[in-house]
Chain A
Amino acid sequence: MGRKNGGQETPRPASAAVVVLVLYVTDSGPNSIRAIANLEAICEEHLNGNFRLEIIDVLEYPLRALADGIVVTPSLAKVSPAPASRVVGNLSDKSGVLRALGING
C-alpha cells in the first residue's frame, strides 16, 4: 500500500465542525487493512462526510510516526476537535472507537 502524501481529503458541509483524523498503518498488514475498512465504515455511518482523514504508512514515513508519538500500528489519532484522542488496534471495537472520537453512536 503506497501513499504519496498519506492524505485523503473528504467533502464536508460548511457549517459543522470538521473531525480531523490520522490513521497510522503498515503497508498491507492484515490489521492495517482491517482498520482502514472499519474506519471508513464508521466515518460513513456517523460523520456524514464531516471529516478529514489522513492515512500514513509508517514504512514509508517512519519519522512522521515517531514524531507523532506513534508506538504501534495501526493507530488512529483524533487531531480535532479537542480533546485529542488515540485508539490502537484494528478498530473492530466500534463502540470503543466512537467513544474515543467523542461521537454518540
Chain B
Amino acid sequence: MESAGPSPHPSSSGTSAERGFKKAILRLVKDGPERLAIEAGQIDAIIDPTNGNCILLPAAQRALIEHKVGFRSLIGLAFDWYWQQDEQYRFVSHRGAADEASGFGRDELIGKALWDLAIDNMSEADWQSHRQQLEWRIAYRDLEVRCRDATGRVRHLSISGEPLFDERDAFTGYRGIMRDVTQRKQTQAGLSGDPVGVARAILDALDTAIGVLDQDGILLSSNQAWRSMGTAQQGIGVGAEDGADYLALCEAGGGHIDGVAVAAGIRQVIAGARERFHYDYSRGTGLKRRWFELRITGVVPDAAARAVVSCADITERRRGEQLLVLEYAVVRCLADAEDAAQGLKSVIRMVCESQGWDCGRYFCADRSAGVLRFHESWGLPLAAVEQFLEKSRGMAFKADAGLKGRVYQSGQPLWVLGGTQNADARRDARGARDAGVSSLALAPETGLGGTFIFPVTSQDGIAGVLVFSGCGVCEPDDRMLGTVQVIGAHLGEFLQRRRALDALRKSNARFRVLNELASDWYWEQDTDFRFTEIVGCSAFGNAKFLGMTHWDLPNVVPAEAGWAEHKSQLDARWSFCDFEFATVDADGRQFHYSISGEPIYDDAGTFMGYCGTGLDITKRKRAEIALRESEARLRARAGLSAD
C-alpha cells in the first residue's frame, strides 16, 4: 500500500470560521509535534485534556457527516429500519425511512422488548430459543415475526441483529435491521392458498384449447380458448360444455373427420393403453381452410382427470410447410425438365395445384419490341379456363403498361382480388384503384376471379412475368411473397440456362452444316495421330479405319518418304492446309484427297490430337491430269507441224 502524501497546509484552506476554530483549538495543544501536525493538516481530532471530549477538526467533521449520510442511504436501500436494544433487550433506538407511514413509530417499540410486541406467530418454544440466542450473545438473521401495527394491519417483519460490547467487553445490548416482508408473505400465501385459481388463470391465458376428461370421457373442465374455439365451430367436439360427453361428440363429428377413430384413440389413452394420441385435421375450403392439431395426453390414473385434450390451430405452420414443399418441388421439376416449355408448364401447374388457383400464364419479355408476349400456360380442365387460355395465346402487352407492365417494371409482385371478394376489397385492389378501372374491365388481363402476378428474374434482369388467376387468389402473406420470389428466381435461372443451351445447340448445328458444305468429311485424331472419329466420309467412314493414321490407310500414295514432311508438321503441332494424298484401288485407279487440320488442346493446354476436314479431289485431279495430257498432245501436234 502506498503511503499517502502530506495534506495541504491548513492555513491556506477553509473558511474564516474554520480558521478561527483552528486557532481556538491550537490553544489546547502545546508547542511541539502536535501543533506542527495540526498546522500541516494531518490531524483529525483533539482530545480536550480537561474533560476528555473529542473535538473534531472541520475536515474530519465533514468526512464523518458524509460517511453517515452514505451509510444511512445504504441502510435505506437495504432495509426498512435500523434499531438498537439495551442489555435487557429493550428497544432504545428505532430509525427508518418509512417511520411515519409504516405504522411502526417510535412509540410502538421504544422501551419494549421484541416479545412485548403483539407478535402472534411465535410459540413459547420459539421465544425460548430466541432468548437463548440472545443470552449466548449470538448474531441472528431473518427472524420472521407477524404482528399488528399501529393501524391494526397485519405486518410481517424480518429481523436481524448482532450483540454490542463496550471497551471492557461488557455486553451493552443488540443492534440490527428490520425489513417489512408483508407483501412477499401475502404473495406466497396467495399462490399457495389457491392453487386451483392459479391453475385456472394459467389455463385461460393459453391460446391452445384445453379440456380435461374423466375416465368416462366426460368433460370436467376447459379453458377460455376451448370455449372460443367451440363458438367458431372449429374443433372436434371442442366447445362442448363442462359435463358433456366428449367421446359421443367426437363420434358424431362427421364430415371428412374420422370421429370414430378419434374417440377410439381417446379411450386408449384413458385406459392407459397408450400415453398419447395425435390427430391432425382441417376445416373449410379455399381461403377459409384452416388446420388443427388434436393431442390427447394421459393423466396419472389416481386422479379424477384421466386425459387432457388440447387443440391448436396450426394453419400458419401448415401453410409454411406447404410453401416450402412447393419450393422444393419446383426445383426438382426444373431439374428434371427436358426443355423450357415442359419446365414452365410443370411449374405453373405445381403452383396452381398447391394454392388452389385455376390457371397460370407466362409472358416472356421481348425487349427489342418492348412487349410481354404470351409464352406458356396451364389451367384446370374446365371450359371457362380453357377458353380464357385460348384467348391469351398470341397476346402481347406493352411492357410499360397494365398490371403485367407494372410488375415487369418494378420487379415487385402485385395482386388483384376478384369478384368473389366484397366490394371494398375490389376498390382497395391496387390495380383497380390505380388504373381507375373496375375489376370487370380488367378481366381480359386478370382473368377469372383474382389475379396474382410476380416477376421471373435472372442475372440479366426480369425475363418475364407469371400471371395466376382464380377465385382462390387472396392477399399473400410474407411467406408467400418470399416463396414466389424464390420460384421466380429458380425459373428465371432455368430459362436463361435453357436459352444458352439452345443457342449452343444451334451454333453446333450451323457449324455442322457449314462443315458439310465445305468438306466431305470431318476427322479427329489422338496424340499418336490415329483416327478417333471420321464423320461423313464414304471412303474412310468405315469403323475399320479408326485407330489408323493417314499414312496407314490401305494403298495410300505417297509412300513413307512422302509423308515425312507432313509428319514433321504434325510433330511440330502446326496446322496444315490442303495436304494431298491418294489411294489406289484394286483396279489401279487413283483417288485423290486433300486434308486440312489443326491441333487440339485441352483447357490445361495439353496436346490432345488433331481435328480437321477432308475433301475428295479425285475429279479435280483427274480433270487436271486430263488437261495436262490434252495439253501435251496439242504441243506434240504443234511440234510435228512445225517440223
Contacts and interface: CB of A to CB of B under 8 A. Distances in A.
Interface of A: 4-6, 25-32, 34, 37-38, 40-42, 44, 58-66, 70-74, 87-94
Given A29-B44, A30-B63, A73-B45, A90 B4 contact: yes
Interface in B135-184: 165, 167, 169
Given A30-B59, A89-B37, A25 B3 contact: no
A73 to B, nearest CB: 5
B394 interface: no
A5 B63 contact: no
B7 A62 contact: no
Contacts of B7: 30-31, 90
Contacts of A37: 1, 3-4
Contacts of A5: 165, 167, 169
Given A6-B167, A41-B3, A29 B64 contact: yes
23 contacts: A26-B44, A26-B54, A27-B64, A30-B7, A30-B60, A41-B1, A41-B3, A63-B167, A65-B52, A65-B54, A66-B52, A71-B28, A72-B37, A72-B43, A72-B45, A73-B45, A73-B54, A88-B42, A89-B37, A89-B43, A90-B7, A92-B5, A92-B6
A71 to B, nearest CB: 5
B46 interface: yes
B5 to A, nearest CB: 6
Contacts of A27: 64, 67
Contacts of A38: 1, 3-4
B67 A60 contact: no
Given A37-B4, A64-B167, A31 B43 contact: yes
Nearest to B25: A72
Interface centre among A63, A89, A92 (most CB of B within 10 A): A89
Given A30-B60, A88-B33, A91-B3, A72 B52 contact: no
B523 to A, nearest CB: 101
Given A59-B54, A88-B33, A88-B34, A30 B3 contact: no
Tell me the interface secondary structure of chain B in the complex: loop
Nearest to A37: B1
Contacts of B41: 31
3 closest residue pairs by CB, A with B: A29-B44, A89-B42, A29-B60
A60 B166 CA distance: 9
B64 A72 contact: no
Interface in B535-580: none
B626 interface: no
A74 B60 CA distance: 11
Contacts of B6: 90, 92-93
Contact of B44 (A4, A30, A44, A65): A30
Interface string B1-37: 1111111000000000000000000001100011001
B45 A4 contact: no
A99 to B, nearest CB: 12
B311 to A, nearest CB: 67
Nearest to A24: B47
A31 B60 contact: yes
B44 A73 contact: yes
Given A4-B165, A41-B2, A65 B47 contact: yes
Interface in B40-77: 40-47, 49, 52-54, 56, 59-60, 63-64, 67
Contacts of A41: 1-3
A89 B240 CA distance: 89
Nearest to A96: B33
A13 B28 CA distance: 42
Contacts of A92: 3-6, 42
Residue of B1, B5, B42 most packed against chain A (CB within 10 A): B42
A92 B49 CA distance: 26
A29 to B, nearest CB: 3
B54 A58 contact: yes
Given A65-B52, A88-B34, A90-B6, 16 more contacts: A5-B169, A25-B44, A26-B45, A26-B54, A27-B67, A31-B44, A37-B1, A37-B3, A38-B3, A40-B1, A44-B1, A65-B47, A66-B47, A73-B44, A89-B37, A92-B5
